[in-house]
């Protein structure tokens, strides 16, 4: 994770240097060459940062775009008192789950664990209502979880029977 923050910090420094050069450099040719070089370095640093971020759980306090989602299915959770609670959520209309990192809260961890155990025992799914709202994951006293039947799988189309081939032709 330190590498990720270092790469992002590097991008911020490159962009700050580029902005400074744009303001202080004026119309000098050497300033323009330096600006292009810094821009190329910034782009390369950006490409190095993106793969580092892929696959890592997003901290829930940074999940701004998901703040208005009405519900999500809890596919899996890893509860670790040392590092926190990791959730894999599937939002309606999406086919790929997203991973989130929730700060450690004993009461929330117990509620998530109890809901997952109950759902597994009954063969059902866990749905979190308004999962990214401030009160859902940070105030475990009112954790809005529902246990529901699993989603139906899409129906397969009937396979066509193979065509018969006349071997005499």
- Across the chain, which has 169 residues, the per-10-residue mean pLDDT values are 68 80 74 79 76 77 78 92 91 88 88 90 88 65 74 70 67
**Are residues 118 and 52 in contact, defined by beta-carbon separation less than 8 angstroms?**
no
CA distance 38 to 30: 12
- What ranges in 25-161 are assigned the alpha helix state H? 29-53, 106-122, 134-138
Q: Which fold has domain 60-148?
A: OB fold (Dihydrolipoamide Acetyltransferase, E2P) (2.40.50)
Q: Please, what's the b/e burial string for 100-114 (b: 16 or more CB within 10 A of its CB; e: otherwise)?
A: bbbeebeebbebbee
**Are residues 100 and 57 in contact, defined by beta-carbon separation less than 8 angstroms?**
yes
pLDDT for the residue 62: 76
pLDDT for the residue 36: 78
CA distance 32 to 151: 57
pLDDT for the residue 103: 87
pTM recorded for the entire structure: 0.63
**Are residues 126 and 111 in contact, defined by beta-carbon separation less than 8 angstroms?**
no
pLDDT for the residue 102: 87
Per domain, the residue ranges of the chain are 2-53, 60-148
Which contacts (CB < 8 Å, 24+ apart) does range 45-50 have? 45/7, 45/10, 45/11, 45/14, 46/11, 48/7, 49/4, 49/7, 49/8, 49/11
pLDDT for the residue 86: 93
């Amino acid at each position: 994770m330190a590498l990720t923050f270092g790469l992002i910090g590097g991008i911020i420094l490159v962009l700050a240097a580029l902005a400074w050069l744009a303001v202080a450099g004026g119309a000098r040719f050497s300033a323009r060459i330096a600006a292009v070089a810094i821009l190329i370095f910034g782009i390369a640093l950006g490409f190095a940062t993106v793969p580092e971020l892929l696959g890592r759980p997003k901290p829930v306090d940074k999940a701004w775009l998901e703040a208005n989602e009405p519900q999500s299915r809890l596919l899996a959770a890893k509860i670790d008192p040392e590092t926190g609670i990791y959730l894999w959520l599937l939002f309606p209309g999406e086919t790929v789950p997203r991973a989130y990192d929730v700060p450690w809260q004993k009461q929330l961890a117990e509620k998530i664990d109890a809901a997952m155990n109950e759902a597994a025992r009954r063969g059902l799914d866990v749905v979190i209502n308004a999962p990214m709202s401030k009160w859902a994951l940070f105030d475990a006293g009112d954790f809005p979880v529902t246990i529901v039947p699993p989603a139906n799988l899409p129906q397969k189309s009937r396979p066509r029977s193979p065509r018969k081939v006349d071997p005499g032709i």
